[in-house]
Amino acid sequence: MRFRSLTKWNINEEIHGLLFFAQRSEELLFDYTLDSYKPPAHTPSSLSLESLQVIKEVELGRIDSRNIDHVVEELSDSIKHDKVAKSLLDLPLEKYLNHSPDSDLSGLKARIEILSRTLERYRYFERCEDLLKQAIRNGQKKDIDALTKMYFSTLLHIGVHKDNLYKKTRDFFFTGSEPEIITNLDAFDSYSQLIYPFEHKFRVFFIATDLIADIKQSLKTFKTVIHETLPSDIPESPLATTFIKNADEKFVEVSEITALDCETARESAERRLDRLRDFFTLYHHKSQVSWHPETLILQCCNPDPQIVSLPRNSMEKVSDLPPKAASEKLNYMLKNMRLHRDELSKFGRVVDFHGLAVTNSDPENQLMSLWIALEALVPMKSKRSKITEIIDGVIPFITTNYVNRIFRKTMNDLIRWNRREIARILHDVALDGRASLTKRLFHLTAFKENEDLRNELFNSLRDFELMRFRIFTLSECLSSPKKTKKFIEKHELRVTWQIRRIYRTRNLIVHTGRTPSSISPIIENGHDYLDQVLLTIVRMSTSNYKIQTIPQAFELASIAREKIFRYLESAGENHNSAQTGVLLNEHEFVIPPS
């Protein structure tokens, strides 16, 4: 979350809701936003389609029938909490999703088919846009937040590229020349027209090695042709003149691409070339066709060619340490890690699979490597299903990190906003002088006795509408142990659903060769979960506890999770100041020895 200059904004009472929408939109679309604040991986519309896919896989005998219960549970929960979906239903939700394990599957399938038409993507999107505009007009921030998440999640599922949305959003509201000034709510109409998912025809040009000329006869199958020079019908432009090949290279045109934007068109075109290259590799292993990351793209209704480069892949969308800090962490780990030799070897194999996922640009291979890493890492202790063991093993790591991650990220955002002001306010939080800034921020947010200080922060934030809303909503969700428990349990349920989705996607790729369009957020979440487990094991093995085996790490994570819930269930109506370190993962077994 970043506070951007508001030089394009004429701030008045009418547009506070629009400003909040603009700030929240940029956060949602930024690659390095914390997963809790990114667009949901699914909407009710996409979940209904996924439910039908799961039913089909069950009917074909490829997956266990219990998967239906899990995906229908998620679909039901999604609709219950979705204002858009509920406004579109013709009957109460239970009429669509009433199902028991021994009931007829064909009846459920037919009802979900009707539900999927009721929640059809464009129908859902247009209703969402109407409700969002109304919420912005009324300044209803909770509704704006909920609807904005579904607005962009739906656009992504329809097929708009996230990079395209981010650039248009940032330029329109903050950095671009158009509009020159934002004064009223008419700006939302202009913005929604700018990002509306219209289909276009594209021609995409690559610069490839001349090895591609050896398979010239096969290119027609992939609607691809080779050129020695760029075709004469490409309009002259400064960008086109920079698209230059070497003597030992060829221009490759991929045509008949239908997409919603240039970025998606580039991905579609590159998938064709990837498939062509893979088929060629069946017969020739020593060298491969390759191409430049930059492409020249022509869009049917735009006279100016565009240069579009390789987008950031899903495995790169994590917050990294600077190289020097990463090197120091690595040296410390190698010097102090206390895993037994066999356990260290196993840990190293998991790290190898993580590395394969990072270095491979193919989404399917990334996801497969991530799943193999999780499967290899989690101890299998019983005769329960593999997916159940993995969920039960991973969840404690995610839970113990959850509150700490939120407040550490929020603290960093506040420091970026105004280091001096937030330091001044946190200084007045009644805690021991050794308390971390993260702990001070948690107490400022969650403790009723700090309400005056919170109001002081709210006043200081002025036009930083998003940060004010974030602190306010966290204060509501965490103001008592009971509410905090509900907050954490809700996150655990979402993570459980997502791990099951990773597993189903893995099975879909293996058994059918198909890949869901929503694979990017699935990879991002899987990578995040694996990183949290691996890095926590490192901290446990280099801390005062010096754990020596991977099963010990999983038991310790389970103990830490149980400790959180024991505190929340015994703390009464208000948080205990002396116990909040448990929520923030300030345990001796993850803190390096002094």
Cβ atoms of 57 and 44 closer than 8 Å: no
Stretch 16-44: mean pLDDT: 95
Residues in the chain: 594
Between CA 151 and CA 120, with CA 507 as vertex, the angle to 5 degrees is: 30
pLDDT at 93: 94
* Rounded Cα–Cα distance for residues 25 and 39 (Å): 9
Chain segment 93-129, per-residue pLDDT in tens: 999 998 776 677 889 999 999 999 999 999 999 999 9
SS3 state of residue 78: helix
* Rounded Cα–Cα distance for residues 118 and 80 (Å): 15
> Could you identify the residue written with the tokens 């979940």?
47
Chain segment 152-161, per-residue pLDDT in tens: 999 999 999 9
Least confident of 278-287, 353-362, 578-587: 278-287
Instruction: Report the percent of the chain where pLDDT is more than 70.
Output: 98
* Rounded Cα–Cα distance for residues 89 and 81 (Å): 13
Chain segment 394-445, per-residue pLDDT in tens: 999 999 999 999 999 999 999 999 999 999 999 999 998 889 999 999 999 9
Query: 591: which 2 tokens?
Result: 């803190």
pLDDT at 259: 96
pLDDT at 217: 80
Using CA atoms of 362, 367, 368, 369 in order, give the dihedral in degrees to the nearest 10. 90
Cβ atoms of 320 and 358 closer than 8 Å: no
Burial class (CB in 10 A: 0-12, 13-18, 19+), 351: middle
Pairing of strands 200-209, 224-227: unpaired
pLDDT at 593: 52
Number of H helices, E strands in the chain: 22, 5
Chain segment 530-541, per-residue pLDDT in tens: 999 999 999 999
pLDDT at 238: 82
Pairing of strands 295-299, 302-308: antiparallel
- Bridge partners of 302, per DSSP, are 299
CA 590 to chain centre: 26
Query: 509: which 2 tokens?
Result: 């790729």
Cβ atoms of 58 and 137 closer than 8 Å: no
pLDDT at 462: 94
- Helix ranges, 119-201 (H): 121-138, 141-158, 162-170, 186-195
SS3 state of residue 557: helix
Chain segment 202-226, per-residue pLDDT in tens: 999 999 998 888 888 888 888 899 9
Cβ atoms of 318 and 527 closer than 8 Å: yes
- Bridge partners of 205, per DSSP, are 253, 296
Query: 50: which 2 tokens?
Result: 């996924």
pLDDT at 591: 58
Instruction: Report the percent of the chain where pLDDT is more than 90.
Output: 72
* Rounded Cα–Cα distance for residues 563 and 583 (Å): 9
Whether the pLDDT of residue 592 is over 60: the answer is no
> Could you identify the residue written with the tokens 């019908």?
233
Cβ atoms of 351 and 65 closer than 8 Å: no
Whether the pLDDT of residue 295 is over 90: the answer is yes
Whether the pLDDT of residue 343 is over 80: the answer is yes
Whether the pLDDT of residue 594 is over 50: the answer is no
- Angle between helical axes of 550-570 and 481-512 (0-180°, round to 10): 140
**23-56: b (≥16 Cβ within 10 Å) or e:** bbbbbbbbbebbbebbbbbbbbbbbbbbbbebbe
pLDDT at 303: 86
CA 79 to chain centre: 20
Under the banding of pLDDT at 50, 70 and 90, the label for residue 186 is very high
Whether the pLDDT of residue 577 is over 90: the answer is no
pLDDT at 285: 73
Least confident of 239-253, 327-341, 548-562: 327-341
**What is the overall mean pLDDT for the chain?**
92
pLDDT at 320: 72
Chain segment 440-475, per-residue pLDDT in tens: 999 999 999 999 999 999 999 999 999 999 999 999
Q: Can the peptide bond before residue 179 be classed as cis, meaning omega within 30 degrees of 0?
A: yes
- Out of 100-114, 311-325, 482-496, give the one with best mean pLDDT: 482-496
Whether the pLDDT of residue 192 is over 50: the answer is yes
pLDDT at 512: 82
For the beta carbon of residue 332, count every other beta carbon within 10 angstroms.
13
